[in-house]
Each structure stands twice: as structure tokens, then as C-alpha cells.
């Protein structure tokens, strides 16, 4: 049975959607590759990184080629493999058009490594896709975060069912645009 608050308020569905979007954003921000809290080796820095959602990656075994700005997309998390693969394939096409030099193998060194996390929040009338792309340097330190969202039609059942080819295309195109903007801005910064 619904609470009195939701029965009396005509804005209840909107409030609920906002609450779900905020909850989803918090989930995306907290995404990590492994839980570091509570383990015997957890340090204060690791705990802080976990809480902020900014987990350092392992440093590369080899250094990336000098004088070449390369980007490696790490496997996406939080979404079905087929959807992740479709977004990545479209990302590769748009990245090539934008002259982003992608390395395609996980064991190949790159100057920048990008980890994408996704959350889909479904409702009968719409689906909200929240995403973050964390950019790491070759040493595995987080250096930049791209955050965004997209909308799709509502579906019954799994919210990822609303993420069709057009939505995948928009997600890939926007990721390339935002990454290219950051790369261009970063290239103009003086070296420290």
C-alpha cells in the first residue's frame, strides 16, 4: 500500500524519479573494481579512494611510447556485455574520426587509461542512463572524471532493454567528444 505522501502529492512520480536519479548517481560515483574497505591491507588512502569512487589502477608494467598520446579503454562496468560491446564498437569509430589514438589490447601501454561505469534507472515512461568515465595516467592515478547522463524510452523489466542502437550511438559519440575536449585542454597545459 502506498504511503499518504505519495497518494496526496501530484508530484510524487517526479520526486521518485529525482530520488532514483540521485541514488543512481551515488551508485555510479561509488563504482570501483574491488572493495577495499574492511580488508587487512586497506589503508586510509585506499579507504578514502573507495569512498570517493576514485580507485587508483595498477601502474603499467611498460611505459607508453614517448611523444604519442595514446588512450586505452578498459572494460566497462555496470551494464550488459552486449550493450557494452556495442557502445565500445561505436566509440572506436568516433574515436578514429576524432583522431584519438586508441590502443586495443589491454596489455598494450597507453598514456591514458579510461574506465567507464554505467547505471540504468528504468521507469514506465523513461529510462535514465548515468555514466562516469574515469581517466587514469600511466602510473594508475585518477586524473579526470567525465560524468553525464542520457535518456531513453521507458520499458517494462530490465532498464537496459531501452538502450537501443540510437542511445548507444549517443553515449559513444558524447564520450568521444568529452574525452577529446579533455585531451585538447590537457595538451595545452604547461608541463610541470
- Residue pair 154/124 in contact by the 8 Å Cβ criterion: yes
- Greater confidence, 104 or 39? 104
This model's pTM is above 0.75: no
Q: What is the CATH number of the domain that holds 88?
A: 3.30.160.150
3-state secondary structure of 1: coil
Question: What gap in Å lies between CA 151 and CA 50, rounded to an integer?
Answer: 28
Burial status of residue 105 (CB atoms within 10 A of its CB: 0-12, 13-18, 19 or more): exposed
- Flag whether 144 is in a domain: yes
- Flag whether 80 is in a domain: yes
Instruction: Give the domain range for residue 67.
Output: 56-187
Read off φ and ψ for residue 116, nearest 5 degrees. Answer: -105, 135
Torsion, Cα of 160, 178, 165, 73 (10° steps): -70
Query: How many structural domains comprise the chain?
Result: 1
- Flag whether 5 is in a domain: no
- Flag whether 29 is in a domain: no
pLDDT tens track for 8-18: 445 555 555 65
Torsion sign, CA atoms 173, 176, 182, 185:
negative
- Flag whether 28 is in a domain: no
* Cβ contacts of 150 within 8 Å, gap of 6 or more: 128, 129, 131, 167, 170, 171, 174
Sheet containing 142-153: give its strands across: 101-103, 70-73, 112-122, 126-137, 142-153
- Flag whether 176 is in a domain: yes
Cite the beta strand spans of the chain per DSSP E.
70-73, 101-103, 112-122, 126-137, 142-153
List Cα–Cα distances, 40 to 4, 48, 52, 116, in angstroms.
46, 15, 20, 28
User: How would residue 35 be classed by pLDDT, with cut points 50, 70 and 90?
Assistant: very low
Question: What gap in Å lies between CA 31 and CA 25, rounded to an integer?
Answer: 10
pLDDT tens track for 75-131: 999 999 999 999 999 999 999 999 999 998 877 889 999 999 999 999 889 999 999
Amino acid at each position: 500500500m502506498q504511503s499518504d505522501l505519495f497518494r496526496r502529492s501530484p508530484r510524487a512520480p517526479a520526486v521518485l524519479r529525482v530520488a532514483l536519479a540521485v541514488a543512481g548517481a551515488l551508485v555510479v560515483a561509488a563504482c570501483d573494481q574491488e572493495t577495499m574497505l574492511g580488508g587487512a591491507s586497506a589503508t586510509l588512502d585506499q579507504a578514502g579512494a573507495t569512498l570517493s569512487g576514485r580507485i587508483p589502477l595498477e601502474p603499467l608494467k611498460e611505459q607508453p611510447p614517448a611523444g604519442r598520446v595514446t588512450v586505452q579503454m578498459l572494460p566497462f562496468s555496470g551494464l550488459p556485455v552486449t550493450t557494452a560491446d556495442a557502445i565500445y564498437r561505436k566509440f572506436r569509430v568516433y574515436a578514429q574520426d576524432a583522431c584519438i589514438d586508441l590502443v586495443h589490447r589491454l596489455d598494450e601501454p597507453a598514456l591514458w587509461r579510461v574506465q567507464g561505469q554505467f547505471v540504468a534507472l528504468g521507469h514506465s515512461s523513461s529510462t535514465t542512463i548515468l555514466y562516469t568515465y574515469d581517466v587514469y595516467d600511466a602510473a594508475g592515478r585518477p586524473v579526470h572524471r567525465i560524468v553525464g547522463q542520457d535518456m531513453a524510452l521507458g520499458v517494462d523489466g530490465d532498464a537496459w532493454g531501452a538502450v537501443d542502437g540510437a542511445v548507444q550511438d549517443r553515449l559513444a559519440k558524447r564520450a568521444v567528444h568529452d574525452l577529446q575536449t579533455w585531451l585538447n585542454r590537457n595538451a595545452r597545459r604547461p608541463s610541470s
